[in-house]
Amino acid sequence: MPFIEFEKSVKDQDWSMLDLHSHKYYEIYFLSKGARSIFLSNRLYKINAPSLIVYPPNAVHKTEGGSFERHIINVSPNYLNEFQLSVLEEKKLKLLKLTSQEAKKLLNLFETAYRIKDGDKFYHLKQNAVFTSVILEIDALGALIQSPQTEVAKPIPTSILKILDFLTSNCQKPLTLKQIADEFFISKTTLIYNFNKHVGRSPMDYLLSVRINKAKQMLVAGKKSIGEISEECGFSSANYFGLIFKKREKVSPMQYRKLQSSKN
């Protein structure tokens, strides 16, 4: 199902993502305040606000650092028209430094998106109009690629990146550790060891994070039931999905849906 979501996050202290991750949609990441270190393509980049980066589907990434304010647009490829897709493809994985005027324009557009309520007449048309304006601003940005802060001492092997992509692409399936290991012709012990070494967590824990992230997208994007979402995200039952979701997100799936709807 096509989806798009606008999201704002403000942290007043050090905050780091728990793990490397990837997803099946585009992520437009606009850092409006603060500084972050971004792990991307086996390199660590230091970016200062205002900056912007477009993550394409399946790009493995992670951010960490001190206090910041950032705005994100998550959008599925099948939501995009030809022009929107061409801009995101042209700008993807380029660390773009914005002028104060460019940042102000983008910030105003995000604030406009946050004021659009789900119950508004022409909600989806308004949302797409704002998104198209964001795309026009991104299209006008220069490709000022920043230099990496440092090479990662031990780059993630291609074999592990392939497993990350496999888990992201097949998260809806009832995968077991043995099935994952067999898919890549390695033992379960080797799989666990290498995954912990390079990703910092087990394959099954990473898979669970992918499923939770997909569920969050579906909760925001549509009106599917909790049972339908749990099944499409690879959970064995709606009850199990609800328990795991609340443990990770501190709210139930329905509460999360209501909270996100109140922001848009």
Q: pLDDT tens digit string along 141-160?
A: 875 555 444 444 456 777 88
Using one digit for the tens of pLDDT, what is the confidence trace for 76-115? Answer: 999 999 999 999 999 988 888 899 999 999 999 999 999 9
Residue owning tokens 């230091």: 46
- Looking at residue 106, its pLDDT comes to 95
Residue 258, in any domain of the structure: yes
Q: What is the pLDDT of residue 152?
A: 46
Q: Residue 16 has what pLDDT? A: 65
Give residue-wise pLDDT tens across range 174-194: 999 999 999 999 999 999 998
Q: Are residues 10 and 134 in the same domain?
A: yes
Ordered DSSP codes for 70-135: EEEEEE-GGG--HHHHHHHHHHBT--EEPPHHHHHHHHHHHHHHHH--TTSTTHHHHHHHHHHHHH
Same domain, 101 and 190: no
Residue 151 lies in a domain: no
Percentage of the chain beyond pLDDT 70 is: 90
State mean pLDDT over 226-246: 92
Domain that holds residue 20: 4-139
| Whole-number Å distance between alpha carbons of 124 and 120 | 9
Average pLDDT, the chain: 85
Which pLDDT belongs to residue 158? 78
Please tell me the predicted confidence (pLDDT) of residue 154.
55
Check if the beta carbon of residue 26 is closer than 8 Å to that of residue 132: no
Q: What is the pLDDT of residue 61?
A: 80
Indicate the number of domains in the chain.
2
162 and 134, same structural domain?
no
Please determine, for residue 19, whether its predicted confidence score (pLDDT) is greater than 70: no
Do the Cβ atoms of 112 and 130 come closer than 8 Å? yes
User: For 196-208, what is the mean pLDDT?
Assistant: 85
At 146 the pLDDT is: 53
Q: Is residue 152 part of a domain?
A: no
pLDDT, average across residues 62-79: 90
HSE, side-chain direction, 13 A CA sphere, residue 62: 17
More confident residue, 63 or 28: 28
Give the residues across from 33 on adjacent strands.
Answer: 69
- CATH number, residue 79: 2.60.120.280
State mean pLDDT over 237-247. Answer: 91
- In terms of DSSP H, where are the helices of the chain? 82-91, 100-115, 123-139, 158-169, 177-183, 188-199, 203-221, 226-232, 238-249, 253-263
Same domain, 121 and 10: yes
Residue 245 sits in a domain whose CATH number is: 1.10.10.60
Identify whether residues 102 and 163 lie together within a single domain.
no
Which of 1-5, 36-40, 137-141 is predicted most confidently?
137-141
